[in-house]
Structure 1
Amino acid sequence: MSNKVLITGATGLIGSELVKQCHREGISVNYFTTSKEKIENSENYNGFYWNPQTKEIDEKAFHGVSAIINLAGSSISKRWTKKYKKVIIDSRVESMKLLYETLQKIDHNIEHFISASGINIYPNSKTRLYTEEDLEIDNTFLAEVVVAWEAEAVKFKDLGMEVSKVRTGIVLAKDEGALPQIAKPIKLGVGAPLGSGEQWQSWIHIKDIIGIYMFILKNQLEGKFNAVAPNPVQNKKMTKLIASQLESPLWLPNISAFVLKLLLGEMSVLVLEGQLVSSHKIEQLGYQFKFYNLENALQDLL
């Protein structure tokens, strides 16, 4: 197993937890940052500068590394103006192109490229259970992002690496990501299901998304993997369970799709559409979830 990994996006929600887990398991971490002020250097955690826009990259980051975990990408939960859509795609694609072009030129011992991806590639459906074998692609901007992201990841096979794509669901964590955003109006007594409330939410606890990355890394697994908990829920059930955990009553009617589209624009697909996604493949390979059910996950996080 790898004793040194390179992580892009190491300071984000998943990246920062992944760094901690690597250190717990005796794995050193190199990471890239676009801010020279954020470069830290210690025995098992070393930062290196890069700028995918200007194609600047510190090649020393690859020394002694046997696997790359690629998490770089701008947030999708900012309003999708035409300009910001370009930022979302470029932040994922240009960073991977820079990695690929650099690795083509230098000597290295990297055998495994693990890249973040998203379940948003699957079409919105209330009845269809999606597995990694499904090839249908949604017609949304997010699906377009995932297709571009995965197409760049696949190229690393040409460099002789095993490639893994981690199709991530809604990551639930205590202080960051989706959960605090969903919980905030409920705490204020103005929570309500969104749209019909029947759209599926394929969620995953932060500890399990980290667990899946480590499992793929340790077992050198390649291919596509859905990183979602075994029991997705519909939006109305998620809203009720969060309200119950917070002991905050829900009394408002559902927030209409029309209002959400007015407020969020095209980004409303994030809350109005959903996919029912299977975790069967990673479980069959031996990954054991710490949080199977949303009730237990919310007890842990709220």
Structure 2
Amino acid sequence: MKIAIAGGTGFIGQKLTNHLISVGHSIYILTRDASNKPAKPNVTYIEWLTDGTEPAKSLGQVDAIVNLAGESIGASRWTSERKDQILQSRIQSTQSMVRLIEDLPIKPRVLVNASAIGYYGHSLTHTFTEESKPVEENFLSQVVQRWEQEAEAASVYGVRVTYCRLGVVLDSAEGALTRMLLPFRFFAGGPLGSGEQWLSWIHIDDVVKMFTFAIEHSEIKGPFNLTAPVPLKMNDFGKIVAHVLSRPYWLPAPSFALKLLLGEMSTLVLDGQKVLPHKAETAGYTFLHPSLEPALSNLLNS
């Protein structure tokens, strides 16, 4: 297939691109600057979101589009300006993607848009599937709802739209896990906050495989949870990390200290939600890493 990816040079985008190339697809990466990009077989860079560019003419006919574009939510403290950047980067890139689809004379079969389990809000007691509604209206939930609404606009052109609601992505080199492991490496690991908050995690290999699954399976549309089938409470997660690393689990990080340090962004570690990948399991997706301990062993000991 011919697949266009926005955000293809980012953390998930690079790994997804490499996988799709390896199974024989041709990849077109939409980027603000197509110059000085590393040459790769079956990868073409196309400029978009800059004045004077016409990505639709450069793309021609594509079978699928993946939109991963958006500012990182965990890169810095959530000031009012930063929160606006997080929201607007997602809204504007997705609106631009829909305009690109409008301009294409032959429409892609599917738009696979990144999203997040932040959609559901936080809860210690609820279990969420793709059928669930948000239980609270916090910042992340509002961002995700707006993001998905913008993506859904592509359905007007007969395009199947899927929103991949990502859980906490675990990778050995990038993302949340590297920061979560730091205190353990200094023999200072322990509960974050109460430790009772849920962590709905997913191995990076399953992220890549599930995005591919969403592209290839026409029955996957609308919300699609990208989480492992066995979420854990943060306290249990920490104990497994300590076991895999052969480190102690003893020094708690109190909620008030994390809130003082991180501000509103502390919600990323102090709050959570129990999210199950109901659609994936119903559609016959087979997880590469369904359980945490072997998943961590794969990432940290390979």
Q: 1:55–1:98: 8 Å Cα contact kept in structure 2?
A: no
Q: 1:72–1:92: 8 Å Cα contact kept in structure 2?
A: yes
Q: 1:15–1:71: 8 Å Cα contact kept in structure 2?
A: yes
| Structure 2 equivalent of residue 19 of structure 1 | 17
Number of aligned residue pairs: give it: 298
Q: In the alignment, residue 243 of structure 1 is paired with which amino acid?
A: A
| Structure 2 equivalent of residue 67 of structure 1 | 64
Q: In the alignment, residue 26 of structure 2 is paired with which amino acid?
A: S
Identity between Structure 1 and Structure 2 (%): 39
The CA distance in 2 between the partners of 1:222 and 1:280, in whole Å, is: 13
| Structure 2 equivalent of residue 173 of structure 1 | 171
Work out which of the residue numbers 207, 214, 217 in structure 2 matches 1:216.
Answer: 214
| Structure 2 equivalent of residue 76 of structure 1 | 73
Answer with 9-18 or 131-140: which moved more: 131-140
Q: In the alignment, residue 270 of structure 2 is paired with which amino acid?
A: L
Q: In the alignment, residue 82 of structure 1 is paired with which amino acid?
A: S
The CA distance in 2 between the partners of 1:18 and 1:38, in whole Å, is: 21
- 1:136 offset after TM fit, Å? 2.5
TM-score, structure 1 normalization = 0.94
Work out which of the residue numbers 204, 207, 214 in structure 2 matches 1:206.
Answer: 204
Moved >6 Å (runs of 4+): none
Give the match's secondary structure for 2:286: coil
TM-score, structure 2 normalization = 0.94
- 1:173 offset after TM fit, Å? 0.6
Q: Aligned-pair RMSD on alpha carbons?
A: 1.6
Deviations 1:225-246 (A, max 9, x none): 1110000011111111111111
| Structure 2 equivalent of residue 232 of structure 1 | 231
- 1:43 offset after TM fit, Å? 4.5
Change (3 A) 1:190 1:38: farther
Deviations 1:130-175 (A, max 9, x none): 1111122432111111011100111000111000111110000110
The CA distance in 2 between the partners of 1:109 and 1:40, in whole Å, is: 28
Structure 1 residues not aligned, in runs of 5+: none
Change (3 A) 1:204 1:38: farther
Q: 2:56–2:103: 8 Å Cα contact kept in structure 1?
A: no
Deviations 1:9-59 (A, max 9, x none): 11112111110110111001001112344545554101111226x685533
Change (3 A) 1:121 1:17: same
The CA distance in 2 between the partners of 1:230 and 1:61, in whole Å, is: 40
Q: 2:111–2:160: 8 Å Cα contact kept in structure 1?
A: yes
Deviations 1:47-78 (A, max 9, x none): 111226x6855334432311101110110002
Q: 1:7–1:29: 8 Å Cα contact kept in structure 2?
A: yes
The CA distance in 2 between the partners of 1:95 and 1:271, in whole Å, is: 27
